[in-house]
Each structure stands twice: as structure tokens, then as C-alpha cells.
């Protein structure tokens, strides 16, 4: 078979990204371009993503980002085999912008359009840098999702744990807001934590004694709100709270990941080494990376962290998921409707608020 080249479009939240990914005959995968334009400046003053503004910003720039991605990839438009776009889950306005653009381009070029589940993009993104065998365990920690999912093989995903309330990135962002640290909060908390005392404050470890892989972060945020109340928010205070918060998150993730490993082993009925892929924006956090890696000392497992550009939202992971679908002839109709809610494991129960 000849080389496969897919253009991938990501517009589900606050990054407009377009990428061209190529798969060679021998199975090698290469990112030919991966242009990412973040909308941080659009949303900063509001302390979070404003859906209307996000959609408008995507629509203003998507054609330029796509042209740039094509130019950088050094291939011609007629060398593309398919156009893939995130069709959910995410903010509807942005999803419409990305999928309409993708459908139009695919029709003009007379090639297939492929609707991609954003979470499948994160789940498979590791394959852009490392060839790892199925099954593996995915810990997805982003601004919108937090879940443990067994990636049994392509299209076979079993979620074994999720958040009952806030996503982890959301907890970072909300806590940072309480500390006047700016937006997005994750990187600010990580920076501040380096100068703080992680043992200064003790925060709760929700659901830690429950024998499952679910997590909950809203109580932690309330506890930070109480700590902040009536306090003068000095630089030292911000750093100490950030360090204590991050330490708590590290503890929770370590305990729950070990539990997820056990659950995965019994689910796939194997005792062999488990590969664990950590993806999503929070996986960019170096403290959390090293805390998780400590698990390798006592458990037969190996962690994989995508490089920073592939942890956060990007078109390359969408293009790669598009290649996997293209190879199997899994194309989408042009009337495919974006789905703001679209779980990766459609048998998994909706758990938000289930406490
Ligand atoms: O995966 P992502 O780019 O977008 C979603 O799909 O949500 O994740 C964004 C989230 C934000 O909540 C942001 O604060 C968090 O990832 N994040 C971090 C770090 N960098 C980004 N959280 C903790 N530490 C970081 N270094
Ligand atoms: Zn994401």
C-alpha cells in the first residue's frame, strides 16, 4: 500500500490546530506539520473558556492555520487521502467550525471525511512517538476529562474510572483562580509550587479509601477556598498552597493508578508488564510526571508521556486517529452531526454527581 496522508483538525476547546500526518508502507508514522494556535489571549480576562468567543476565534483563523499546515507539510492538497476532524466531545460551536471546514475540504478534494472522537485522539496519540502494543492503560487528565481507560485495541475501550465532578485540569484552573494566579491555572500552579512548602497545608484525599478508580476534585477546591478565606494572598502563601495542592493531587493519582493497574490486570487476565499512557494537558506537569513514575519502583509497569506539544490538544492526534480509521475504511457521512457529549466507552455509566 502507498503512503497514507491525513489532515487532522482540532477545534473542540480553545486550541485551533491543523496537522498533516503520514504513515509509510513499513508502518512508520511521521508528523509532517502540526500547527497549534492557542486562544489564551481571548479567554484570559474571563478566567476560563467562553464558548461563543472560542467558536468565533476558531472560525476567524481555521483557514489560515490549515493553509500553514499544508505549506509546512510540503505536500500538495491532492496528495491528501482524507480529512479528519474532532466531532466531539467538546464545545459545540468549535466542533461545528472544525467539522464544517473538514467536510468542505474533503468534498472539494473528493476524499473521505472522518469524524474523530477527541478522546480517541488522546488515547492513541502515544503511537505518534512510541510504538506500544495493545492493551495499555490510559490515564487521561485534561481540562474537560479525567479517566482511567483500558485501551484494549483500536476501537475497544473500557473505562474503569472517572471523575465524579470536576476534571483535574478544571481543579487546577479553579484553584489557581482562588489564588489569583491567572489563567490557565495548571502551569501557574506548577511554577508557584516549585517555591512552596508542600507540607504547609493538608488537603483532603477524596474517595481514597473506596476500592475503585474513581476520583473527585470538587471538595479539594472547596478546601482551598476555605484556606484562602480571610487570608492575605502573599506570594509565599500562593506558593505554599500550590505546593500542598500539587502534592495532594500526586498522592491521589498514585493511589488510584495502582488500583487501576490491579483492575486492568484482572480485566485483561494478564500478569505481564502494563504500559501506562498519561495524556491531556495536566500530563504536561513535571511534578505529576515524576510522582507517577515513582510507581514503577514497586509495580511492573512503564509510563509513557507524550511530548508537551502532543499532551495538550493538537491536530496531529486527530490526524493519527484518522489514519487508523482510513486504513479500515471507517469513513463518516457528510451529514455527521458533532456530538458535544461523546464518551469513548459508550457502555460506561454517566458518573458526574454520583456520590
Ligand atoms: O488537554 P488540554 O489542552 O485541553 C482539554 O482537552 O481540556 O488540557 C488543558 C488543561 C487546563 O486545565 C490546564 O490548566 C491544564 O490542562 N494544564 C496543566 C499544565 N499545563 C496545562 N495542569 C497542570 N500542570 C501543567 N503544567
Ligand atoms: Zn483534550
In this predicted structure, what is the pLDDT of residue 323? 98
Distance CA 195, CA 219 (A): 25
Q: Residue 355 pLDDT > 70, yes or no?
A: no
* Mean of per-residue pLDDT scores for the chain: 95
Find where cell 480576562 sits: 45
Residue-wise pLDDT tens digits, 79-119: 999 999 999 999 999 999 999 999 999 999 999 999 999 99
Atom of ligand 1 nearest to the CA of 143: 7
State how far the Cα of 280 lies from the Cα of 261, in Å rounded to an integer.
19
pLDDT of residue 83: 98
Supply the DSSP symbol for 215: B
Question: Does residue 166's CB lie within 6 angstroms of at least one atom of ligand 1?
Answer: no
Q: How many CA atoms lie within 13 A of 114 on its CB side?
A: 31
Q: What is the pLDDT of residues 190-221, one digit of tens each?
A: 999 999 999 999 999 989 999 999 999 989 98
Ligand 1 pocket test target in 12, 88, 281, 309 with most atoms within 8 Å of CB: 281
Q: How far is the CA of 118 from the centre of ligand 1 (A)?
A: 15
Between the CA of 201 and the centroid of ligand 2 the distance, in Å, is 30
280 lines ligand 1 (CB under 6 A): yes
Q: Which residue has the higher pLDDT, 136 or 348?
A: 136
Report how far residue 105's alpha carbon sits from residue 101's, in angstroms, rounded to the nearest whole number. 6
> Residue range 284-289: average pLDDT?
96
Is residue 34 classed as helix, strand or coil in its secondary structure? strand
Residue bearing the CA closest to ligand 1, atom 3: 312
pLDDT of residue 100: 98
pLDDT over 90 (residue 259) = yes
Which strands sit side by side in the sheet containing 82-88, from one edge to the other?
29-38, 15-23, 4-10, 82-88, 113-117
pLDDT given for residue 63 in this prediction? 98
Query: Rounded to the nearest whole angstrom, what is the distance from the C-alpha of residue 234 to the centroid of ligand 1?
Result: 25
Summarize the confidence of residues 240-255 as an average pLDDT: 98
How large is the average pLDDT for residues 245-255?
97
What integer pLDDT is reported at residue 349 of this predicted model? 76
Better-scored residue on pLDDT, 36 or 348:
36
**Cα(233) to centroid(ligand 2), Å:** 31
283 lines ligand 1 (CB under 6 A): no
How many angstroms does the Cα of residue 282 sit away from the middle of ligand 1? 4
Ligand 1 centroid to Cα of residue 211, in Å, is: 27
Residue 274 has pLDDT above 90, yes or no: yes
Residue 1: the pLDDT is 65
- With a 6 Å cutoff on the Cβ, whether 125 touches ligand 1 is no
Least confident piece of the model among 206-215, 237-246, 286-295: 206-215
Cβ–ligand 1 distance for 173 under 6 Å, the answer: yes
Of residues 168 and 184, the one with the higher pLDDT is 168
The residue ranking higher by pLDDT, 85 or 44, is 85
Nearest protein Cα to ligand 1, atom 10? 143
pLDDT for the residue numbered 269: 87
Amino acid at each position: 500500500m502507498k503512503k497514507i496522508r491525513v489532515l487532522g483538525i482540532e477545534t473542540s476547546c480553545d486550541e485551533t490546530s491543523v496537522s498533516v500526518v503520514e504513515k509509510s508502507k513499513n508502518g512508520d508514522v511521521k508528523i509532517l506539520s502540526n500547527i497549534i494556535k492557542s486562544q489564551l489571549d481571548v479567554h484570559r480576562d474571563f478566567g476560563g473558556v467562553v464558548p461563543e468567543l472560542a467558536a468565533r476565534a476558531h472560525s476567524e483563523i481555521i483557514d489560515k492555520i490549515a493553509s500553514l499546515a499544508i505549506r509546512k507539510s510540503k505536500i500538495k492538497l491532492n496528495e491528501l487521502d482524507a480529512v479528519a476532524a474532532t466531532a466531539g466531545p467538546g464545545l459545540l460551536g468549535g466542533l461545528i467550525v472544525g467539522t464544517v471546514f473538514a467536510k468542505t475540504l474533503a468534498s472539494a478534494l473528493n476524499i473521505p471525511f472522518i469524524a474523530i472522537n477527541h478522546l480517541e485522539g488522546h488515547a492513541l496519540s502515544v503511537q505518534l512517538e512510541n510504538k506500544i502494543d495493545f492493551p495499555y492503560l490510559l490515564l487521561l487528565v485534561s481540562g474537560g476529562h479525567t479517566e482511567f481507560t483500558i485501551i484494549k485495541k483500536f476501537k475497544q475501550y473500557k473505562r474503569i474510572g472517572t471523575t465524579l465532578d470536576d476534571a483535574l485540569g478544571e481543579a487546577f484552573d479553579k484553584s489557581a483562580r482562588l489564588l489569583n494566579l491567572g489563567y490557565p491555572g495548571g502551569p501557574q500552579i506548577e511554577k508557584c509550587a516549585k517555591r512552596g512548602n508542600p507540607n504547609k497545608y493538608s488537603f483532603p484525599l477524596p474517595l481514597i479509601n473506596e476500592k475503585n478508580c474513581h476520583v473527585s476534585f470538587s471538595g479539594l477546591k472547596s478546601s482551598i477556598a476555605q484556606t484562602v478565606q480571610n487570608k492575605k494572598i502573599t506570594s509565599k502563601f500562593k506558593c505554599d498552597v500550590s505546593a500542598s495542592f500539587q502534592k495532594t493531587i500526586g498522592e491521589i493519582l498514585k493511589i488510584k493508578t495502582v488500583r487501576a493497574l490491579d483492575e486492568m490486570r484482572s480485566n485483561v487476565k494478564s500478569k505481564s508488564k502494563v504500559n501506562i499512557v498519561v495524556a491531556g494537558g495536566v500530563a504536561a506537569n513535571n511534578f505529576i510526571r515524576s510522582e507517577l513514575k515513582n510507581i514503577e519502583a514497586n509495580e511492573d509497569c512503564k509510563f509513557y508521556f507524550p511530548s508537551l506539544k502532543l499532551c495538550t490538544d493538537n491536530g496531529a492526534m486527530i490526524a493519527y486517529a484518522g489514519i487508523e480509521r482510513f486504513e479500515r475504511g471507517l469513513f463518516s457521512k457528510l451529514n455527521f452531526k458533532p456530538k458535544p457529549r461523546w464518551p469513548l466507552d459508550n457502555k460506561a455509566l454517566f458518573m458526574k454527581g454520583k456520590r
